[in-house]
């Protein structure tokens, strides 16, 4: 069937896998679809589907979206709080949860009902819209089948650089973990759904044929691919996944995502060493068992130490993420984090201030925490000259420490120090804006 509707899928900053996937899907349904990154080109489409990943997008793109014509629909992880999306952005409809099933219904409805407004979609599950001043949410979209996905690959994919990769490819969805700061289980559910290996390989070939070289695999925590029970990792499925993708990309062009420190084995590390660029990334978050428990991270410091030790035994480079200023983190908890970071001597560190994602436990905690009690809004007495908050001070201290105590120490020059101060200030500014946003009452 030849459809006349023109659809543009817009991704503001980089080619997210979600945007490529939805574009491929709409194309498969027989519609004219254009995939666009950024706002530079004028959009002329009947329907504009905007894929947003981060809460800060709600604040950063208000003006740009105002200037776009067409029926505007927002989808992506940011829709964990559809009320917030509709409060912030001038859009017609929000796809709530996974979009694959809902998007087809929306387009089909649109085709049969020209010039609809949000409320016309009231019988469609999985959407939210404004009806006068009220926000109506018709429920969460049903979980999608992960069979036979084939993304649309943009022409300039070879120049895309998402943390070193041209593309992040989805291997599975969902995570049985329960980390309070993370939107993955809230958005994709807690059951792991894995794509068939043959579909993944077909898509890898499709990306390579169209110019991509460096591929990272994404999807909750890597080693959960193929497993159907938490703590019961299917080593064989994960090893086979790495081996088969690596046969196509070459090991140096394959990056794996984060691995939980309690979902590892010698076989997994051996495969990472053999079939990937040789890095592993652990979500470490804190050196305080008390804070890890409060985060519901489900691992403790001993497990982290063991995981890093095991990875080293297999000659794998180690990187880790840390979160500072989580609600309830006391000075002594932070000192434990510094001590752990020093002891681990990782090859790379990623340090962030706790960012509340609406719809997560952390989002709720920050919502209920007054500005006065939130250390992101308390002035640091240590770095008065730089006008930092206590949260920014902790991020800066940990960043400085991480350069000194990494596997290859990096001298702390004035330039590096300035860059780190700029980095913590930028993080602090961003998270303050998000915090203020989620604490502003919204009309329901
Ligand atoms: S294990 Fe990773 S993906 Fe799962 S909830 Fe925790 S941070 Fe999120």
Task: Going from the first residue of the chain to its last (444 residues), give the mean pLDDT of each consecutive group of 10, the final group possibly shorter.
Answer: 82 92 91 93 93 88 92 92 91 92 90 88 93 89 78 90 92 92 91 92 94 87 78 81 97 92 94 96 97 97 98 97 97 98 96 93 95 96 93 98 93 95 96 90 62
Distance 411 CA to ligand 1 centre (A): 33
| Nearest-atom index, ligand 1, CA of 185 | 5
Closest CA to 204 of 156, 249, 154: 249
> Ligand 1, residues 168, 175, 303: which to mutate, most atoms within 8 A of Cβ?
175
- Using DSSP's 3-state secondary structure scheme, residue 7 falls into strand
Q: CB under 6 Å to ligand 1: residues?
A: 175, 177, 179, 182, 184-185, 220-221, 260, 283
| Cα gap 217→432, rounded to integer Å | 31
Q: Kindly report the protein residue whose alpha carbon is nearest to atom 8 of ligand 1.
A: 182
pLDDT of residue 2: 56
pLDDT of residue 443: 57
Distance 428 CA to ligand 1 centre (A): 23
Q: Kindly report the protein residue whose alpha carbon is nearest to atom 1 of ligand 1.
A: 177
Query: What does the DSSP assignment read for 107-131?
Result: HHHHHHSSS--GGGGTTSTTEEEEE
| Cα gap 233→44, rounded to integer Å | 47
Domain with CATH 3.80.30.20 in the chain: 157-439
Contact between 298 and 335 (Cβ < 8 Å): no
Query: Hunting for tokens 């309070």 — which residue is that?
Result: 180
Contacts of 292 (CB under 8 A, 6+ apart): 285, 286, 299, 300, 301
6-137 architecture in CATH? 3-Layer(aba) Sandwich (3.40)
The sign of the CA dihedral 285, 290, 296, 299 is: positive
pLDDT of residue 231: 58
> Ligand 1, residues 176, 181, 185: which to mutate, most atoms within 8 A of Cβ?
185
Domain with CATH 3.40.50.280 in the chain: 6-137
Strand partners, 258: 281
Could you tell me which CATH class the domain 157-439 is placed in?
alpha beta
| Cα gap 123→253, rounded to integer Å | 46
| Nearest-atom index, ligand 1, CA of 220 | 3
Burial state string for 240-251 with b = 16 or more CB within 10 A and e = fewer than 16: ebbeebbeebeb
Contact between 107 and 7 (Cβ < 8 Å): yes
pLDDT of residue 440: 83
| Cα gap 296→177, rounded to integer Å | 8
Distance 296 CA to ligand 1 centre (A): 10
Distance 357 CA to ligand 1 centre (A): 13
> Ligand 1, residues 220, 227, 262: which to mutate, most atoms within 8 A of Cβ?
220
pLDDT of residue 444: 56
Distance 177 CA to ligand 1 centre (A): 5
pLDDT of residue 151: 86
pLDDT of residue 100: 87
pLDDT of residue 78: 87
| Nearest-atom index, ligand 1, CA of 260 | 1
Q: Kindly report the protein residue whose alpha carbon is nearest to atom 6 of ligand 1.
A: 179
The pair of three-digit structure tokens given for residue 330, joined into one six-digit string: 């006391």
Residue 69 has a CB neighbour count (10 Å cut-off) of 11
| Cα gap 53→40, rounded to integer Å | 19
End-to-end CA distance of the chain: 40
pLDDT of residue 141: 78
DSSP 21: H
> Which stretches of 143-215 are DSSP H helices?
184-188, 197-209
Distance 335 CA to ligand 1 centre (A): 24
Residue 139 has a CB neighbour count (10 Å cut-off) of 12
The pair of three-digit structure tokens given for residue 369, joined into one six-digit string: 């925490």
């Amino acid at each position: 069937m030849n459809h006349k509707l023109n659809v543009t899928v817009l991704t503001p900053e980089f080619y997210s896998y979600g945007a490529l996937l939805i574009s491929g899907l709409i194309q498969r349904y027989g519609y004219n679809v254009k995939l666009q990154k950024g706002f530079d080109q004028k959009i002329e489409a009947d329907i504009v589907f905007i894929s947003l990943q981060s809460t800060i997008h709600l604040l950063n793109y208000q003006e740009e979206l105002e200037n776009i014509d067409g029926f505007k629909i927002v989808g992506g992880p940011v829709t964990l709080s559809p009320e917030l999306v509709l409060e912030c952005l001038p859009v017609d409809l929000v796809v709530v949860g996974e979009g694959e099933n809902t998007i087809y219904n929306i387009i089909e409805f649109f085709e049969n009902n020209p010039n609809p407004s949000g409320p016309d979609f009231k019988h469609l599950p999985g959407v939210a819209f404004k009806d006068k001043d009220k926000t109506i949410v018709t429920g969460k979209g049903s979980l999608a089948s992960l069979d036979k996905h084939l993304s649309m690959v943009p022409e300039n994919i070879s120049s895309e650089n998402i943390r070193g990769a041209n593309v992040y490819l989805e291997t599975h969805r969902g995570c049985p973990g329960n980390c309070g700061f993370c939107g993955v289980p809230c958005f994709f559910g807690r059951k792991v759904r894995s794509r068939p290996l043959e579909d993944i390989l077909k898509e890898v070939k499709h990306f390579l044929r169209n110019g991509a070289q460096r591929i990272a695999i994404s999807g909750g925590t890597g080693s959960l691919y193929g497993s159907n029970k938490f703590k019961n990792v299917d080593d064989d499925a994960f090893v086979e996944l790495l081996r088969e993708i690596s046969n196509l990309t070459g090991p140096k062009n394959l990056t794996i995502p984060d691995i939980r420190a309690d979902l590892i084995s010698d076989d997994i590390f051996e495969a990472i060493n053999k079939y990937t660029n040789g890095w592993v990334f652990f979500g470490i978050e804190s050196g305080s068992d008390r804070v890890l428990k409060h985060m519901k991270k489900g691992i403790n410091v001993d497990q982290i130490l063991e995981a890093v030790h095991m990875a080293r035994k297999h000659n794998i480079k180690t990187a880790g993420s840390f979160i500072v200023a989580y609600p309830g983190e006391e000075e002594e908890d932070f000192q434990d984090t510094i001590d752990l970071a020093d002891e681990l001597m990782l090859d790379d560190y990623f340090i962030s201030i706790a960012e509340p994602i609406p719809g997560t436990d952390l989002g709720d905690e920050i919502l209920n925490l007054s500005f006065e009690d939130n250390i992101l809004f308390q002035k640091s007495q240590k770095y008065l000259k730089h006008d930092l908050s206590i949260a920014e001070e902790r991020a800066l201290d940990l960043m400085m420490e991480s350069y000194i105590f990494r596997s290859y120490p990096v001298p702390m020059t004035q330039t590096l120090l300035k860059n780190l101060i700029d980095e913590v200030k930028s993080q602090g500014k961003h998270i303050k804006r998000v915090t203020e946003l989620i604490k502003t009452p919204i009309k329901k």
